[in-house]
A and B are shown apart, each in its own frame.
Chain A
Amino acid sequence: SQQGEEDPQALSIQEGENATMNCSYKTSINNLQWYRQNSGRGLVHLILIRSNEREKHSGRLRVTLDTSKKSSSLLITASRAADTASYFCATDNNNNDMRFGAGTRLTVKP
């Protein structure tokens, strides 16, 4: 069964704008990870945030985690056409297997 649920399901923005995607989950976690998937390809790991962290940055990516609300957000700043992809959150719970959401399909228009 899926654990994380991304919101929105689809997002379309203009190049240069910021994109924000949200993830909600149900059970306690050890960490939460964000992945990107280009069409027809496998997933690529973007960033991992541990349950005791609240915010993390990597280049144009900013991830927040609110364990009290069981939610996370991924912000991509100054988006580019190459950022067009599906973005998934994945939670690592005590079972040591990853549970992925259905993803947010991001389209960045040039």
Chain B
Amino acid sequence: GAGVSQSPSNKVTEKGKDVELRCDPISGHTALYWYRQSLGQGLEFLIYFQGNSAPDKSGLPSDRFSAERTGGSVSTLTIQRTQQEDSAVYLCASSYSWGRNQPQHFGDGTRLSIL
């Protein structure tokens, strides 16, 4: 597609359930990023991928969060045993390559609400 696509756009689930968020980057972009944005706040960096590899996972808030990327394209962010504090907008971005001076292209996010 022309831009970064995220699905679902909205997700409401009960506390304790697992959720899976999907990101389809711009074709040809090798770098992919996940962020979390709480209401009215800035972006909290979670993880980035260069190809299928995630060199730095230190931004993930807890071991309930995991992410993978296969085939150098689609990425999924999984949250296990969701908690109410996980409620936020999860944004995905991609850039042409990993490295400096690369602008990031964002999807419109998945709005996650934990009841």
Contacts and interface: CB of A to CB of B under 8 A. Distances in A.
Instruction: Answer whether A and B are interacting partners.
Output: yes
Interface of A: 2, 30-31, 33, 35, 40-45, 48, 50, 88, 90, 92, 95-103
A98 B100 contact: no
Contacts of A98: 33, 45, 104
5 contacts: A30-B100, A30-B101, A31-B101, A42-B4, A100-B35
Contact of B41 (A42, A43, A45, A102): A102
A10 to B, nearest CB: 10
Contacts of B44: 2
A31 B100 contact: yes
Interface of B is mostly: loop
Interface string B29-62: 0000101000001111100100000001001000
A44 B33 contact: no
Contacts of B103: 33, 45, 48
A50 B103 CA distance: 12
Interface string B1-44: 00010000000000000000000000000000101000001111
Contact of B59 (A48, A90, A97): A97
Interface of B: 4, 33, 35, 41-45, 48, 56, 59, 91, 93, 98-101, 103-109
Contact of A41 (B42, B43, B108): B108
